[in-house]
Amino acid sequence: MAEYLSPGVYVEEFDSGAQPLEGASTSTAGFMGLAQRGAVEGVPLLVTSMAEFLREFGAHLSENAFGSYRFLAYAVEQFFTNGGSRCYVMRVAPSDAKPAVNTSEESKVLAISAKNPGTWGNQVRLAIAPASKAKTQIYEVLGAPGESKRYRVKNSAGFNPGDIVAFSDDNGKQYNKIISSQDNIIELAEPLEGKEEVVDTQLLPAKVLTTSEFTLHVFNGDESETFEKLSLNVSAPNHVDKILARSNIVTVQDVTVGSDNGIVAPFEVITGADEEAGKYDIVLTDGSDGSIGSLSAGDFIGEDRGPGRRTGIHSFIDNDVVSIMAIPGVTDPNVQLALVAHCENLGSRFAILDIPRDKTKVADVLTHRDIFDSSYCAMYNPWLSVFDPVDKRNIFVPPSGTVAGVYSRSDQTRGVQKAPANEVLRGVVGLDVQYNKGEQDILNPAGVNLIRHFSGQGTRVWGARTCSSNGLWKYINVRRLFIFLEESIKNGTNWVVFEPNTEQLWARVQRTIDAFLTRVWRDGALAGSSSSEAYYINIGPQTMTQDDIDNGRLICVIGVAPVKPAEFVVFRITQKTGSE
């Protein structure tokens, strides 16, 4: 409670009404798969356009090299074509994939490798050039002639202990190392040759003391990076390891840390050539995409190596934005079951599953479908014909990326309560298999959502069922609506934690959730002609005992009536006779 010690007027603010509760996003997708480049561990990367995907993960993969694992780029392209606005992407690579490295003389000083595995790193080129970050002139030699190592300079800014410096005059350059630098007094490792000869007080000095660094240029196709005035002095803020950590193309490590390079210019230490050479080129080699034969379900499932180092599906644990998940073209039951388990455990996302392309017969499709029983996933078939920019022809791709775009488009235009079905697929010119009504009569009740072509109506998603055997969670929009409600309430009521668990708090919580659910009902997501028919909120003695309160639990019971899709539209027509 505030203290009042001096007479006066005090104004205080306090919250008494409902807190505004914002709806969670449901249209952000998460994709995994093989790509030309990109990190294989860490956190998934946000991508907001196909152009950004191409910059970060490279171009479409060829069928000859990557076979049935090449569909990530096609799925992301289809996602954006069909109305998706943002997605997170995580790359998977075979266990025997290797980054390109430098193997020539400079590798004894700088170990340089491509940022991540792949043959793309073999195209990386680097250029090293001498540079200097600071220069000054010597005003006075402090100490005995020919023995002093201390000098008063015009400005010691930029001269750090451990830096290599060069003193230049008419006789050429002599290199030295800084022992200490403070208050315009610099102490060197060795005395400079001469005493009076090193002093220059002219306005335009002919004798200068300069630091000795190098600049590194990195090139990868049209992409380039420049890192200026780098040092091999590990204690300096411009040490090469510290600055190159920002690179998106290469990883650089100074392998001489802890050893003495002597009083030699960094450019010469790295290249073995004098600074007069001006430039030194480095190429990376031995990068490998790995062999497709070495890929296994474990590469896609990934490993939990701790925060920031997870791989595969586990990498999405650190992401709380994604609400739609897909691994395009990967139909291994072990991977798909792991993806479904991931969605169920988090409870905040929904998986879109592909069916193997070779399984086109109804019996074969049902065999794959029967592996799953979950309301957190849906299965689509058949594969779709789209244009391939690599081979300049139409190819068949898995439907998961396209359907994820339809989910996102439907959510943004109609809302998550609208079943993502009877929606036209954009960019699709044909189907691998055209199923008829009789075949769908078997597959639809089993939870396989077919994509069908209708004359004059284009190619459409013609199913909206989950892979669940529980009739309550039969429809995709019902499960995704509950994900939306749960995530929105969880994110918007964080302020309740540690508040006094009293009737005043219960009333505020009820008003907050009531205002949110009223808005959801008015948007058409809940059934009922009034809000009381659409939902109820119970909080207080009817939901909590004194034991709950004593143990810090606030329990609020919420019931909602979700709208269900009109899956079967029946018009009953009879003949009207004259006597009736």
Q: What is the 3-state secondary structure (H, E, C) of 97-164?
A: CECCECCCHHHHCEEEEECCCCHHHHHCEEEEEEECCCEECEEEEECCCCCCCEEEECCCCCCCCCCE
Q: How far apart are CA 145 and CA 139, in angstroms?
A: 15
Q: Which residue has the tokens 């002597």?
A: 262
Domain final residue, candidates 477, 504, 531: 477
Beta carbons within 8 Å of 148's beta carbon, 6+ residues apart? 141, 142, 191, 195
- Name the one residue in this structure whose structure tokens are 């946000």: 46
Residue 361 lies in a domain: yes
Same domain, 279 and 312: no
Residue 266 domain flag: yes
Burial class of residue 256, CB neighbours in 10 A (0-12, 13-18, 19+): middle
Give dist(CA 272, CA 267) in Å, integer: 8
- Banded model confidence at residue 319, pLDDT cuts 50, 70, 90: very high
Average pLDDT over residues 194-210: 80
Q: Which residues contact 85 (CB under 8 A, 6 or more apart)?
A: 27, 48, 408, 412
Q: Using CA atoms, how far apart are residues 163 and 231, in angstroms rounded to an integer?
A: 8
Residue 463: C-alpha distances to residues 443, 445, 476, 524, 527 (Å): 10, 10, 9, 21, 21
Structure confidence at residue 196 (pLDDT): 57
Q: Are residues 401 and 532 in the same domain?
A: no
Helix spans in 395-526 (H)? 400-413, 437-446, 476-492, 503-522
Number of domains in the chain: 4
Determine the pLDDT at residue 578. 66
Domain at 147, CATH number: 2.40.30
Q: What is the CATH number of the domain that holds 371?
A: 3.40.50.11780
Task: Calculate mean pLDDT across residues 482-494.
Answer: 94
In a domain, 46, yes or no: yes
Residues 505 and 570 in one domain: yes
Q: What is the per-residue pLDDT for 433? A: 93
Is-contact 37 58, C-beta < 8 A? yes
pLDDT value at residue 217: 95
Cα dihedral 132, 137, 142, 146 sign: positive
Residues 323 and 277 in one domain: no
Question: What average pLDDT does range 79-102 have in this prediction?
Answer: 94
pLDDT(470) > 60: yes
Q: What pLDDT was estimated at residue 532?
A: 93
- Determine the pLDDT at residue 225: 93
| Average per-residue pLDDT for the chain | 91
Structure tokens at 258: 């802890």
Q: What is the DSSP pairing of strand 185-188 with strand 208-211? A: unpaired
* pLDDT at position 194: 61
- Dihedral sign, CA of 566, 569, 570, 571? positive
With contact defined as beta carbons under 8 Å apart, do 289 and 97 qualify? yes
Domain, as residue range, for 420: 29-96+291-477
CB burial string 225-239: b at 16+ within 10 A, e below: bebebbbbbeebebb
How far apart are alpha carbons 355 and 332 in whole angstroms? 9
Residue 219 counted as domain residue: yes
Give Cα separations from 252 to 111, 112, 115, 120, 223 (angstroms).
6, 5, 9, 17, 18
Interval 368-378 mean pLDDT: 96
Q: Is the model more confident about 372 or about 105?
A: 372
Both tokens of 273, joined, read 């050539």
Same domain, 118 and 257: yes
Residues 278 and 421 in one domain: no
Residue keyed to tokens 């479409």: 60
Last residue of a domain, one of 165, 185, 211: 211
Q: Are 466 and 476 in contact (CB under 8 A)?
A: yes
Give yes or no for residue 94 having a pLDDT over 80. Answer: yes
What pLDDT score does 1 carry?
Answer: 64
Residues 120 and 267 in one domain: yes
Q: Which amino acid, residue 336?
A: Q
Work out the average pLDDT over 204-212. Answer: 88
Question: Nearest to residue 419, comparing CAs of 488, 473, 470, 465?
Answer: 465
Tell me which of 580 and 557 has the higher pLDDT: 557
14 part of a folded domain: no
How many Cβ atoms from other residues are within 10 Å of residue 400's Cβ?
30
Residue ending a domain, among 266, 283, 300, is 283
pLDDT score recorded for residue 170: 74
Give the pLDDT of residue 169: 81
Q: For residues 110 and 231, state if they share a domain.
A: yes
Q: Are strands 213-220 and 430-431 parallel, antiparallel or unpaired?
A: unpaired
Task: Decide if 490 is inside a domain.
Answer: no
The predicted structure's pLDDT at residue 146:
63
Do the domain assignments include residue 510? yes
* Same domain membership, residue 298 and residue 182: no
204 and 84 co-located in one domain: no
343: CB partners within 8 A, 6+ apart: 325, 349, 350, 351, 374, 376, 377
Tens of pLDDT, residue by residue over 260-293, are 778 888 898 898 888 877 889 999 999 999 888 8
Mean per-residue pLDDT, 11-17: 79
**18 within some domain:** no
pLDDT at residue 579, rounded to an integer: 62
Other C-beta atoms closer than 10 Å to the C-beta of 391 total 12
Judging by beta carbons within 10 Å of its beta carbon (0-12, 13-18, 19+), is residue 512 exposed, middle or buried?
buried
Task: Read off the CATH number of the domain in which 237 is found.
Answer: 2.60.40
Max mean pLDDT range (17-26, 102-111, 470-479): 470-479
Residues 351 and 413 in one domain: yes
Q: Is the pLDDT of residue 311 over 90?
A: yes
Cis peptide before 145 (omega within 30 of 0): no
270 and 359: one domain? no
Q: Measured between alpha carbons, how far is 373 from 355 in angstroms, rounded to an integer?
A: 15
